[in-house]
Structure 1
């Protein structure tokens, strides 16, 4: 495969990661192995690409993704014949994909729950909505197609309740507010989302729960569900989520990724129409960090 550089100035490894489907680590590996060439010649990762350079790279064969039941620990908060609510641990990917072929929430669901909706096919059985790998908390799972359609419709109509807790950098000037800014793929880095005029409407409401010296504990409520919405919106207003390696600063709180937890989930039961609402505590690392901040 080859691609022509339009704007120079980047290191070769970063340019390859930004311009192709390769990750930066895989780009570095191919550079070391001589699989990536610039104008037909091997270069080091630190080489600064120039406008007009032609980069030759190798696109690896796609990994075989298996969808097998795995006996993984999974907290099922609620379950009936139509729907389940689970508490996804931090660090668990929701569904298998290249690079994450096992150990996902879907692998766990296939083991612990007998029936799952098939609307999303074998790729995402039962999955109505997702949260990021390093975000913990509540997810609804559909156990049949009728329930899936009803739950997805409620999400689309913005009737579901989704509240998150997050530790963010800095002190918010107001105790509550609303962030209304469209989100789409970043024009500077295709692997990121960003606030952009070309994006889709996105609304996040926030309320300050507790203030610390350099951080704030906030509750955030989603009215829309764009990819990385809370992380992008909080970074956009200058208060990125602590621990967020993608949208936040390097100097941050130590943990296992971003301090973001899907704490409360509410929706109408897809069959009975009953209003259901669930809430779970933040993970241990989250609570321990709050205690340290309180004592600072």
Structure 2
């Protein structure tokens, strides 16, 4: 147990921030977890991480045991779009999990980063070195990684304040009546399926969510759209597009096929009435797409070290380009 007296310079600080600055060797997330588990007292009273301390108060803190680092460095190639002393921007491939989690302990982005870089931020804890934000496993594209805590905190503040512009490419199935529009619908945990999110307007656990989309090209019932989410809820783009009747191709959770062959894509785009997932892949036919057709194509943010705005883009990956090429080559669509 360690004890502190809050100085004037820390008056008004959140308790987790005050303790992070007072206890060397621990990230803010580690401190926050310890406080959440009744690890801190202020003037004899157990408090929560959001509590704001006052000068002169006495703080007692049960220091957490050192966390084990479950990130195993692996020599996995990285497609680096940009790098400087404070950050690196990666073009993440589809199929790569960002950080270790249940069922995905190896082959992660953090494993690749740990092998490649000597120093990364530890704000997110030992299993998430450098990770400022995340992409779903089967979403490809731009992801920013921080090399030190100062850069990490600056970038995290930009995300929190919605100063980062995010742009995605999605290929959807369904009829989009409008060429461009906003989707405003609150998102919360699915009531029955733990791995899903759902539209839950007015529910106590739901959060407001807003997504702007714009049609880029139409091929019958298959449409390519540019998507710019204003908020950053889990699975937001996937949930919102499914909500308006246009699920992303091959999005297993929210209404897509598990995989698509050339003939299936043509059938979906054509005039024949089709429902995702109804007809199996013809035996022996080449599978053209086997993951959700969602790509984080661009991020615009302010470089914490230079103060300059920068935009990083990742080209459309071959599998999504192949789908669009197939549709474009069919003059009937």
Q: Do the two structures share a fold, i.e. TM-score over 0.5? A: yes
Q: Provide the aligned C-alpha RMSD in A.
A: 1.5
1:266 aligned residue = 300
CA distance in 2, matches of 1:206, 1:76: 28
Output aligned runs, 1:20-35, within 5 Å. Answer: none
1:211 matched to 2:215? The reply is no
1:141 aligned residue = 145
Aligned residue among 259, 282, 285 for 2:316:
282
Output aligned runs, 1:75-154, within 5 Å. Answer: 75-154=79-158
Distance 1:65 1:119, change over 3 A: closer
2:249 aligned residue = 242
Comparing 90-99 and 248-257, the one that deviates more = 248-257
1:291 matched to 2:325? The reply is yes
- Structure number with larger C-alpha Rg: 2
How many residues align structurally? 233
TM-score by length of 2: 0.68
Corresponding residue SS for 1:155: helix
Corresponding residue SS for 2:295: strand
CA distance in 1, matches of 2:222, 2:105: 36
Which segments of 5 or more consecutive residues in structure 2 lack a partner in the other structure? 1-67, 258-275, 278-286
CA distance in 2, matches of 1:249, 1:265: 26
1:29 aligned residue = none
Corresponding residue SS for 1:96: coil
CA distance in 1, matches of 2:253, 2:160: 27
CA distance in 1, matches of 2:322, 2:175: 20
CA distance in 2, matches of 1:152, 1:107: 21
CA distance in 2, matches of 1:208, 1:239: 12
TM-score by length of 1: 0.76
Q: Note the alpha carbon deviations across 1:170-192, whole angstroms, 9 max, x for none.
A: 23111111111111101132321
Shift of residue 254 of structure 1?
A: 4.7
Corresponding residue SS for 1:235: helix
1:220 aligned residue = 227
Q: Note the alpha carbon deviations across 1:109-155, whole angstroms, 9 max, x for none.
A: 11122221010111111000001000000001111101111101000
CA distance in 2, matches of 1:245, 1:200: 23
Mapped contact 2:141–2:295 kept (Cα < 8 A) = yes
4+ residue segments displaced more than 6 Å: none
CA distance in 1, matches of 2:131, 2:169: 22
Which segments of 5 or more consecutive residues in structure 1 lack a partner in the other structure? 1-63
Aligned residue among 172, 183, 190 for 2:187:
183
Mapped contact 2:132–2:152 kept (Cα < 8 A) = yes
